[in-house]
Amino acid sequence: MLALLSLVAASSCDLNEVPVDTATNAAVFGSESGLELYTNSFYDLLPNTDVGVFQDDDNSDLVARNGVDTYLAINALSPITSSGWSWSDLRNINYFIENAEKSPVSTKTHYIGVARFFRALFYFEKVKRFGDVPWIDKTIEVTDEAKLYSKRDNRFDVMDNVLADLNYAIENITLTSDPSVTRITKNVARAYKTRICLFEASLRKYHTQYNKQATANTWYEEVVKEANSITGFTLHEGPALDRAYRDLFIAKTAFTDETILSVALSASLQVFSSANRRFISPTYGNRPSLTRRFINTYLNLDGTPFTSKTGYQTTPFVEEVKNRDLRLKQTIRVGDYKRTENGIPVVAPPNFSQTYTGYQPIKWSYDERFPFDDESRNDNAHIIMRWGEVLLNKAEALAELNKMTATDWTATIGALRKRAGITGATLTTVPTVADPYMVAFFNGKFTNPVLLEVLRDRGVEMVFEGLRPDDLRRWKLGELFQSAPMNGMYVPALGEYDLNSDGKKDVYFYQGTKPTSTTPGIAFVDVSPSTAVGRLQLSNGTSGEVMWNPGPREWADKKYLYPIPETDRTRNPDLGQNPGW
């Protein structure tokens, strides 16, 4: 932008100058550097790095969190409180496309491809949120009241246009790789296409009120086709499998073997995220903790379901985390996990001053306490698209199409499980028997054994990467937002417990008067009977699973779409309103 201002300032010295808007237009659209400079403004559409994709899953069936978001709180979401009906970013993109198409620059189609990628991304987010939206592919003049105050277009027609924009981007973006994995490349567009097409396919299949089931497979096929066209990526394995998965999310510079797109953070430029504070601070953010219902889906290292073990329901924390999928110990605190304070390693079991369930996340957080836990100072790369997701998108599409072969399984779910240290036939053999735990986990919605195992790995692999809420919505499983229990580790009886087998008690569960303990730093957890919001209980009174009460949650099917904000409907009554609102 500074370069652009300099060009405009220089032109103002000419006594025979053309109007300023014309001079600016020529400076931008008359050179490749100008086109590139303009397209840089579109990157603001990517996910915010402070809150990050890592917080989106807080509103899902996998996470116990502090409080209840407006989306799920009773009577909190309404046309009055709704937001998101903003179109300034679209005008910026359309203005660029219109002018770039008239540019004499020979490489202009690359930059138009980047713009159309971002337009597809913009509209995908709008359609997910509101359903029918007006399709606008040109800048609207303030005098064009017919367009300014037009009705919304059918969301399926809009998604056809989104697909056309993505295909144009894939065809015309010339950048195929980027060492910084921060630029929009042909492979980025392809990877996003697998995500967007998977969402659209599932919505058409499971939201039967639209009567679009017959068109779902066409979109699933697009997922498979585009995933197969992506080259140059593999799963990051690093020097050791028991760190490879987590290393992806705490690296300052994104690993280029698996990362397809990221946002680079920088301490020197004062560009940070708040990952540590949001996961660890007891007073900042949502204090998210994974639920036992979800933790149970992690396989044993030999590839068998943990829930196939007799007595799994009453297995204490120290035992249940042993010999499990290596992603578990790289996602939450278990066993010998350590953090550092002033450079000194300190054993760090689950801390009930910070976690509600005992399953305390570490996936995006540095192990160093200072200054990251107390300030928003994380500068680890913010990954927003990676090869692991593409493999899962492809696997789900193949399962839905009933086209999964042993070769496909080995290259997708098998590869992810192999990176997670899992062994046995599960790496190469397509499953034929549905796991009853997984059937119940999805309320009986899915019974296909292949699809159920794909979805098991999707949850485990992608947790805290911002996909779960959209997954529930596209599968039409919104009821899980409300009904999924916020349960935690199993506690056999009141008393003190060592959560990492180091010989030191870490937590004291009690009822009534707070007891005394000789263990310094032990966390006291009052589980006295109560129905109050913000209290922990044990499911069986003086024993059982830890149960967190964040407050009442409410689901209604109208929430698959947000209401059109009332202020915007006042300006344009022809927008109408979404069903139920």
What is the predicted pLDDT for the residue at 20? Answer: 45
- 3-state SS class at 4: helix
**Is it the case that residue 2 has pLDDT exceeding 90?**
no
Q: What is the DSSP string of 254-319?
A: --TTTEEEEE--BTTTTB-B-HHHHHH-SSSTT--EE-HHHHTTSPBTTS--GGGSTTGGG--HHH
Q: What is the mean pLDDT of residues 142-158?
A: 88
The Cβ of residue 296 has, within 10 Å, a number of other Cβ atoms equal to 18
Full-model pTM? 0.95
Q: Is the pLDDT of residue 408 over 60?
A: yes
Percent of the chain with pLDDT over 90: 90
- pLDDT band for position 24 (50/70/90)? low
Quick one: average pLDDT of 400-420? 98
Read off φ and ψ for residue 169, nearest 5 degrees: -60, -45
Q: What is the largest CA-CA distance in the chain?
A: 87
**554 pLDDT exceeds 80?**
yes
| pLDDT(9) > 50 | no
What pLDDT, on the 0 to 100 scale, is given for residue 1?
A: 41
Q: pLDDT digit string (tens) for 25-79?
A: 888 999 999 999 999 999 999 999 988 999 999 999 999 999 999 999 999 999 9
For the chain, list the domains and their CATH numbers. Answer: 2-46+83-212 (1.25.40.390), 492-549 (no CATH)
- CA 519, CA 505: separation in Å to the nearest integer? 7
Whether the pLDDT of residue 10 is over 90: the answer is no
Those residues whose C-beta lies under 8 Å from the C-beta of residue 145, and which sit 6 or more positions away, are none
In the three-class reduction of DSSP (H, G, I as helix; E, B as strand; rest coil), residue 536 is classed as strand
pLDDT tens, position by position, 281-297: 988 889 999 999 999 99
165-210 tens-digit pLDDT: 999 999 999 999 999 999 999 999 999 999 999 999 999 999 999 9
Quote the pLDDT of residue 200. 98
pLDDT in tens, 219-275: 999 999 999 999 999 999 999 999 999 999 999 999 999 999 999 999 998 999 999
Q: Which residues contact 413 (CB under 8 A, 6 or more apart)?
A: 391, 392, 395, 453, 454, 457
Q: What is the pLDDT of residue 511?
A: 98
Residue 18 pLDDT > 70: no
Task: Select the more confidently predicted residue: 549 or 2.
Answer: 549
The pLDDT of residue 233? 98
- The pLDDT, as a whole number, for residue 314 is 98
Joined together, the tokens standing for residue 166 give 């993505």
Which pLDDT score, from 0 to 100, does residue 16 have? 43
Pull the structure tokens for residue 32: 């490749």
pLDDT of residue 167: 98
